[in-house]
Structure 1
Amino acid sequence: MEDTQIIRTEYSDIMKKSYIDYAMSVIISRALPDVRDGLKPVQRRTLYDMHELGIRYDKPYRKSARIVGDTMGKYHPHGDSSIYDSLVVMAQDFKKGMVLVDGHGNFGSIEGDGAAAMRYTEARLAQVTQEAYLADLDKDIVDFVPNFDETEKEPQVLPARIPNLLVNGAEGIAVGMATSIPTHNLGEVIDAVKAYMENEDITTRQLMKYVKGPDFPTGGIVVNQDQLPEIYESGMGKIRLRGRVSIEEGKGGKKQLVITEIPYTMVGAGIGRFLNDVCSLVEQKKTGDIVDISNQSSKEGIRIVIELKRGADPKNLENMLYKKTKLEDTFGVNMLAVADGRPETMGLKKVIEHHVDFQFDLTTRKYQNLLKKEVDRKEVQEGLIKACDVIDLIIEILRGSKSIQDAKDCLIHGTVEKIQFKNKISKKLASMLRFTERQAAAILEMRLYKLIGLEVEALIQEHEKTLANIAKYEDILNNYDSMSRVIIEDLDRLKEKFGRARRTTIENAEEAVYEEKAIEEKEVFFLLDRFGYGRTVDTAVYERNKEAADAEHKLVIPCKNTGKICLFTDTGQMHQIKVMDLPCGKFRDKGIPIDNISNYNSAAEEVVYACDELQFHQGKLLFGTGQGMLKIVDASEFLVSKRTVSATKLSADDRVVFVKPARKGQQIVLQSKNGYFLRFSTDEVPEKKKTAIGVRGIKLKPKDTVEAIYLFEEGVETKVSYKGKEVSLNRLKQAKRDTAGIKNRGA
């Protein structure tokens, strides 16, 4: 038994190395595309597996489950969902600039509907994939590497003839980095590649004469054209996208806004979110000019119709949609891909440069392979032609041989000792034969019909064709211009066959300006019921239903419809609610949960005090807690824009029990749970910042807490109820702050 060797090392070093190894594995082998073929490993393996299964574009569809299972078993052991998701995306024409898979069945929709299960859908390779991504794999033009268990071989990269990284774009999240590359027009990208091949010193701006900008499958409008050169130079930036909106005449002289193209970022659930956002604008009274919205999209394309009131300004409403919804959005560009085995952020020229280098590598390997085959063919053809000239001698050798090896030795080396000849002349001529081994094998396998005159003539013509091919291939391999011409011809063929017109418009557009109608400011009442539902009603409505309103609601607060309601809770927080976010209507209308429009959590917090924001422009607020801590805060400290701020600092297990406006000279009474009452002047409570805890107002006995705090004016009769008995606060003995207080006799 060998001795066990224990290696001692820092745990942090092992963790660091392991994490870096994991991160690089995710970056290189999972999340980022290769700059050469623009594919992630899962996409490359899926396409290659379909190629191996023979699911070509001109063959019948096969079940997606078969493709997924075969890919997972042979090449990609990371779960079937990632493989099927990849297959689905490659078949969605609203996500890819050029689909690589021809899907049959439900492969999802632009509105976010998911694809059917893999057992229901079928797929096959698209024609462009077969011709531009998988062609010539049999010509040893890319390296093959062992699969995960070394039982199969898979291509390290597909021999893509077009810059797929640009044409189809890419999205992926790795560890510590992410890629986001927009789709582009195939014809424009091919023209840019040709321009680079003709002039390697071409600049990014010159390349952009061909590549105008991104070309999204959903169309739309790119509105920051002037920023594109900088984005394509660095490979990073933000593209501003808008949907395409037209104005149509509706019934009765009404106008309609019709959206026929959407921003690429809206693909999926974004369309439903957009419809909800438009509805919210109406509900929140941001506009009153929208009558109806309907999604009339179909297989023919996107059509979202927004019906407007008669007399509405459609251009202003179009700008409102750009400003207030995702109809105008940004696409973050980060052109990150794996180049030479490491992640790199590249500009447009760098991506094209890598692609061209790859094309020269592919073409070189292809024609080296073809040249080798033609040279071998030439050798065989020359041997057969030579054999036809001495066919009688060869037949004599074959008839005089006792074995194939004897005949082969004679043809290759001129060895005649083991062969019987009719005469010495034949023997002498045979000893002079010097065929190569490949030629000798071809001669021995040659059939007699090849000796027919026409066949011999055809052999000579084939030999001449082979010599011409050799000259052609050597010229391609030895001449840069010749190889460039071959690559360009191939690109032109693909452009003509698979190119399409641009869908996305590139322009410079001014920022959308939306003129909001001034809201008429008026007095309303905020009502909050015991279930946490809030709403507002006009002053006249409240006055008519005052008795019912006060009885049925926890909070009734007068406020401005343009202002804010502030809620102070027992957890020491202040939450703000915009009054405009609340529905305003009839008295019996149902409100909305205020949890939905603020950070207030009705399940975990209790409102101690609520008021209109206007009260903070002057005055002070008195805070009291269950542990007897007091402070006065200048109300202006709560004039903030945040939805939630900390109103006071609390000790552990403490809570706010009292918040009210207070002023100098008022009387304050603290009542504890165990019946202790302490009266003193508010002058004894210091003014603090809202972040302070405060000072102690009463000395509490163990397990006792402050239950209530009262404010009243000196000389004004004020009575409260305690355990069923009335307590007159005015008659309580005046004391000092931070004393124990007097126990009520009824306690």
Structure 2
Amino acid sequence: MYIKYCIVALKRTIPSIADGLKPGQRKILFCALKNKLIGITKLETFSKSVDHHSSSNVASIIMGMTRNYVGSNNGNYGTRGQGGEDQSAPRYLHIELSRITRLIFLDNESSDERGKEEVKIGRYFPIIPMVLVNGCEGIGVGWSTNVPNYHPIHIIKNMMHLIAYEGNMEKLPVEMCPWYKGFRGRIEGSQSGDRDYTSYGCIQESNGMLKITELPIHKWTDKYLKFLNSVAEHNAEAKDPFIKGYKKYGDDTSPIDIRVKLSGKQLREAEQEGLEKKFKLGKKIKTSNMVLFDEDGRLKLYILQEFYKYGIDKYKSRLTNLQKKHADKALKARTELHFVKRYRQGNIILSKDNMQKKDDLVKYIKHQGFEANPEYLASLKLVSLTEESEKALEKELEKAEEELKKVKNKAAATSWLEDLQVLENELLKDKLFQLTA
């Protein structure tokens, strides 16, 4: 029993490589996509539709999913001041699905199996490893994970390489370095040769004062101001003060702007030690603990290459399903068109003799050579037997056969590459995603 508990606990805290989501997040996305969440919806109402027993817990998960990666979304959803912990109550908040969500999560690969006590949610397949885009943190029984965020365009470029070279990880076109949307500082790799990075804030001297315009990733403004207060001369409890004072400009929703006042001596000493080190404007980003569940529920330490293996199988399955879908559409349109044509030519006569009962009509249609789906043909409305309907069916059949031909002639890799290109083009419309030289 303890082993089963450990497995369940781990699955709740460590995301899957398949979609980058934990079970609670997966359930929320499933409901949003299944119910076609379009436009602005009240958060409290949507939370109850996801799980009416624990809507408050659902609401807190949604708030985390809405925030910007530097640490804030807007005043209502929490700010960088407290890392999002100062959000409003769910009854005051509204949400909507991001417009690029449907470009990332294509077809519904989930199942909604409703039992008496629980709802089991499957996975939507994203075309890129979203766990690298959003990052994640989780602590389970005996395992933990910490995945930083990466630039989605870099991920797309590398996935395109893996697809083109059938999973070969050699000579990836873009080096993967942590990246956070809207972060104005810099991120540097470790000089010791390990895989860790350090994010640095921004500080510069101006007219004898220091101006801080960015903090390291996950270093929140309120806590940083407490640090400055602990080293300020006006604080009687400060043990080793090295600044005269400080002032924060703007509010928690505006860019960071903190001015620090020092004496000439204090400024020289700080510059000798290094401003970033003296003012604690560096924070480690570890990449040595990127543990995730694979599609079979096994814990692994990997990401890009394994996602390629998972994704190429999904695309092969998707193309097979699409081929069957279009083939079924073509067969349906062809059968119905043939039936309508024969009726209009007078070869099929619906009379009192064959329309006494439904079974009689179905039997008559079968006798006319339509054995595939006679029940469906028997349920057609009279308006479906008109010349106008016949022309519409001809167009429908032509379209279905054209789509079927496209799918038959397309490889899984080609289809995936096309979807990645569409996503890349859409992302590049946002200036924050555009790559700098």
TM-score normalised over the length of structure 2: 0.84
Higher helix share: 2
Question: Is residue 308 of structure 2 the alignment partner of residue 337 of structure 1?
Answer: no
| Deviation digits for residues 645-683 of structure 1 (CA, Å, limit 9, x no counterpart) | xxxxxxxxxxxxxxxxxxxxxxxxxxxxxxxxxxxxxxx
Aligned counterpart for 2:122 among listed residues 148, 156, 176: 156
- CA separation in 2, counterparts of 1:124 and 1:395? 52
Structure 1 residue 114: Cα displacement = 1.6
Question: Is residue 177 of structure 2 the alignment partner of residue 224 of structure 1?
Answer: no
SS for the counterpart of 2:177 is coil
Q: What is the aligned-residue RMSD (CA, Å)? A: 3.4
| Bigger RCO (CA 8 Å, 6+ sep) | 2
Question: Is residue 212 of structure 2 the alignment partner of residue 213 of structure 1?
Answer: no
The one-letter code matched in structure 1 to 2:217 is Y
| Deviation digits for residues 404-434 of structure 1 (CA, Å, limit 9, x no counterpart) | 322322332x3xxxxxxxxxxxxxxxxxx32
- CA separation in 1, counterparts of 2:284 and 2:24? 28
1:95-174 equivalence runs, <5 A: 95=70, 106-112=76-82, 113-133=85-105, 135-137=106-108, 141-146=109-114, 149-150=117-118, 152=119, 154-174=120-140
Distance 1:411 1:72, change over 3 A: closer
Aligned length: 425
Question: Is residue 369 of structure 2 the alignment partner of residue 434 of structure 1?
Answer: yes
TM-score normalised over the length of structure 1: 0.51
Q: Give the structure 2 partner of residue 300 of structure 1.
A: 254
Structure 1 residue 190: Cα displacement = 0.9
Aligned counterpart for 2:165 among listed residues 178, 191, 199: 199
Q: Give the structure 2 partner of residue 647 of structure 1.
A: none
The one-letter code matched in structure 2 to 1:459 is L
Aligned counterpart for 1:45 among listed residues 1, 5, 27: 27
Question: Is residue 19 of structure 2 the alignment partner of residue 61 of structure 1?
Answer: no
1:246-645 equivalence runs, <5 A: 246-248=204-206, 254-267=207-220, 269-279=222-232, 283-285=238-240, 287=242, 290-298=243-251, 299-310=253-264, 316-317=270-271, 319-333=273-287, 334-339=289-294, 340-346=296-302, 351-391=303-343, 392-401=345-354, 402-412=356-366, 414=367, 433-438=368-373, 441-442=376-377, 445=380, 447-448=382-383, 450-452=385-387, 455-476=389-410, 482-499=411-428, 500=430
Aligned counterpart for 2:51 among listed residues 49, 69, 72: 72
2:230–2:241 contact (8 Å) kept in structure 1: no
- CA separation in 1, counterparts of 2:402 and 2:94? 45
The one-letter code matched in structure 2 to 1:118 is P
Deviates more, 1:326-335 or 1:141-150: 141-150
The one-letter code matched in structure 1 to 2:372 is E
Structure 1 residue 268: Cα displacement = 5.9
| Deviation digits for residues 352-377 of structure 1 (CA, Å, limit 9, x no counterpart) | 22333333344344433333332222
Structure 1 residue 259: Cα displacement = 1.8
SS for the counterpart of 1:264 is coil
Q: Give the structure 1 partner of residue 5 of structure 2.
A: 22
2:135–2:150 contact (8 Å) kept in structure 1: yes
Which ranges of structure 1 fall in alignment gaps of 5 or more residues?
A: 1-17, 232-237, 249-253, 415-432, 477-481, 507-747
Query: Between the two proteins, what is the percent identity of the paired residues?
Result: 20
1:219–1:505 contact (8 Å) kept in structure 2: no
Larger Rg computed on CA atoms: 1
SS for the counterpart of 2:213 is strand
Distance 1:61 1:201, change over 3 A: closer
Which ranges of structure 2 fall in alignment gaps of 5 or more residues?
A: none
SS for the counterpart of 2:349 is helix
- CA separation in 1, counterparts of 2:380 and 2:164? 49
The one-letter code matched in structure 2 to 1:469 is E
Structure 1 residue 84: Cα displacement = 2.9
1:224–1:240 contact (8 Å) kept in structure 2: yes
- CA separation in 1, counterparts of 2:95 and 2:259? 34
After superposing on structure 2, the runs of 4+ consecutive aligned residues of structure 1 that deviate more than 6 Å are 502-506
1:654-693 equivalence runs, <5 A: none
- CA separation in 2, counterparts of 1:381 and 1:311? 85
